[in-house]
Amino acid sequence: MTGPDRSAPGPDRSAPGPDRPAAGPVDDGLFAPGAVPGEAAGSARARAEEELAIEQALELVGGSTLGPSRPPRGQRPGGGGDGDDPSGTPDGGEAWSSTPRTGDGRNADPTSASPMSSASNARTDAGAHTPGNRPGPHTGGRVQSGSTSSGSTSPRASRTANKPAPSLSWSRARAVAARAGRGGPLAAVRLPLDRALGHVLAEPLGALTDLPSFDTSAMDGWAVAGPGPWAFVAGAGILAGHAPATALPDGAAVRIATGARVPPDTTAVIRSEHAYADEAKGLLHAERSVATGQDIRPRGQECRSGEQLVPAGTVMTPAVLGLAAAAGYDALPAVPRPRVDILVLGDELLAAGLPHDGLIRDALGPMLGPWLRALGAEVAGPRRLGDDARALRDALATSDADLIVTTGGTASGPVDHVHPVLAELGAELLVDGVAVRPGHPMLLARLPSGPSGAHTAGRPEGQRDATAEQRKESPDGPYLVGLPGNPLAAVSGLVTLVEPLIAGLAGRPAQDAYRALVHAEVHGHPHDTRLVPVVHRAGRAGGRDHVAPLRYNGPAMLRGIAAADGLAVVEPGGVRSGTEVEILDLPWAPATPWTEGCFT
């Protein structure tokens, strides 16, 4: 459910006070302050590690049977419910530590863990393919409604029946989403050039002809043959688009326009400003030396017929479309944009006006559509379903989208319906919880295919036929990403699951990770990866470009991300000022100059 955090917020340790001045320039109050030690970090880590050790031991002596109930809100490892706000932690619930660490077992890649944790790792790895990351009955990788357990449950197994399975690490969850997208790209369609902008090229673009396809003049001037001076006929000339009638005889000249086909046997083109035409004598004189072939674009100078111009997977920009037209194309093979439906959940949301009487404005509906379009998706307008399980089920069962994005309802509250509805529909959970703050209750699922035509209605004919053919080859339906309801937690779900999934479906290259210097200490969660809004700043006086973390980065806040052009990926324990941190660019970052405007 999208809405305010239900847990009691801790003291705001991000705000500067008389005994804690803000670090760095804080002209507008957006930059993050200095380090604040996490008082409960050690005990929280110890509890989580103890629980994980017990879980591993039980796995080794006989395994655990997952019961049908989910843990109460706020009892996932690492703390926090849908809002990621355990009580008594600063800035909306992050348990911070001031000592940088390299990570621990909860955030380690399961493929590199020690042999002693193999049983637990098997459960974590299964989360990439089955609903094993969520406590509840499951069979054959599908979420099932009702119990499917057979036989008696051992006392040891029953001790873990109501415990949540470990969340996937942030990097592992992104890898699962990327792999899912690459496994099901949409079949290619041919689009006319005027409709191909922004789509991804499905096949390499090869030249259909030489470019240029004949020798052309690079300048307005005179085509000449042999040595000068050259005789010319007043009023005669060759324009672009008109082929010369005959070859140019030796000692002759003719006026020629840029882009016009040069006559056979032409020696060079002399620019108009470099020649003197004696109209009385009908002779042309060069005022500079003339080199053979000067200012002539020879046939095939840019490419030869059959040469690859652009590789498959290239996003078709205006320049790519222009090149394709020059190479002789009228239409191009393209990967259609993935179609996305947005379902906004929550009875407490207002579509307009000021918040009142416990109701709040829906911030995600207006934000998600443009964000998803920037990722290359075709997005329908958001549908507001409230907290209605039946409406959610019907919307999922009848959607014709390739991806459905829901907001809120991914935790275990009384009106959090996403998990029960997915179970009723027999969906396959690929990711159920991610060790990231904010946003750890996010999920990724694959719905079963619906009735024939249910997922293709309303598509353009070419795309509908291609999608229908693909549905015949795959028994699975659309993907679903469940985003937490808090706005910044939802942004975390966008960059963790939605972005790599859409990139795969659309055939786009994944975002390249890079590292940047950070000019402030960035606090970390004791166990989970933390995503922190940052802004790039240009180095001064020969200094290096760097990023600065921004304030207002609690799960329910958007003020920080609104001023950001990237997210810092902070490993458990945090990073110190003057070190490098991994950066994810926001979709609009490439168009944003690295300047210090009103937000910085």
pLDDT digits (tens, 9 = 90+) for 91-143: 433 333 333 333 333 333 433 333 333 333 333 333 333 333 333 333 334 44
DSSP class of residue 446 equals E
Separation between Cα atoms, residue 1 and residue 75, nearest integer Å: 18
Q: Nearest-CA neighbor of 195 among 462, 2, 418?
A: 462
What is the predicted pLDDT for the residue at 180? 93
φ, ψ for residue 577, nearest 5 deg? -60, 140
The first and second tokens of residue 121, run together, are 């790792």
SS3 of residue 333 by DSSP? strand
> Which residue spans of the chain are classified as CATH 3.90.105.10?
189-210+302-335
Portions of the chain given CATH number 2.170.190.11:
216-297
Long-range contacts of 532-535 (CB under 8 A, 24+ apart): 532/32, 532/567, 532/568, 532/570, 533/488, 533/560, 533/561, 533/563, 533/564, 533/566, 533/567, 533/568, 534/564, 534/565, 534/566, 534/567, 534/568, 534/583, 535/563, 535/564, 535/565, 535/566, 535/599, 535/600
Q: How far apart are CA 11 and CA 331, in angstroms?
A: 60
DSSP 325: H
CA neighbor of 76 nearest in space, from 199, 165, 160, 12: 165
The whole-angstrom separation of Cα 74 and Cα 399 is 32
Type of residue found at 470: Q
The tokens for 583 are 């950066």
Instruction: Report the pLDDT value the prediction gives residue 449, as an integer from 0 to 100.
Output: 82
Let me know if 511 is exposed, middle or buried by CB neighbors in 10 A (0-12, 13-18, 19+): middle
Alpha carbons 359 and 362: distance in angstroms, whole number: 9
The two tokens of residue 152 are 């008696």
Query: What kind of fold does domain 189-210+302-335 have according to CATH?
Result: Molybdopterin biosynthesis moea protein, domain 2 (3.90.105)
Ranges of residues in the chain with a pLDDT under 70 are 1-166, 184-185, 245, 450-475, 541-543, 590-600
Q: Can you list the positions of beta strands (E) in 112-167?
A: 138-139, 142-143
Q: What is the Cβ-side half-sphere exposure of residue 58, based on CA atoms within 13 angstroms?
A: 22
What's the pLDDT at 102?
Answer: 37
pLDDT score for 541: 61
In this prediction, residue 570 carries a pLDDT of 94
Q: Backbone dihedral region of 426: left (phi > 0), alpha (psi from -120 to 50 degrees) or beta?
A: left
Q: Residues in the chain, how many?
A: 600
Q: What's the gap between Cα 7 and its chain centre?
A: 31
User: What per-residue confidence (pLDDT) applies to 237?
Assistant: 87
Residue 150, classified by CB atoms within 10 Å of its CB into exposed (0-12), middle (13-18) or buried (19+), is exposed
3-class SS at 491? helix
**Placement of tokens 């674009």 in the chain:** 297
Fold of domain 514-591? Beta-clip (2.40.340)
Q: Is 1 helix (H, G, I), strand (E, B) or coil?
A: coil
For domain 41-186+336-506, give the CATH number. Answer: 3.40.980.10
CATH of domain 216-297: 2.170.190.11
- Sort strands 339-344 and 546-549 into parallel, antiparallel or unpaired: unpaired
The single-letter DSSP state of residue 238 is: E
As a whole number of angstroms, the distance between CA 98 and CA 34 comes to: 10
The H or E element that residue 169 is part of is: strand 168-169
Q: Where in the chain is the domain with CATH 2.40.340.10?
A: 514-591
Question: What b-and-e string marks burial along 427-452, b requiring 16 or more CB atoms within 10 Å of the CB?
Answer: bbbbbbbbbbbbbbbbbbbbbeebee
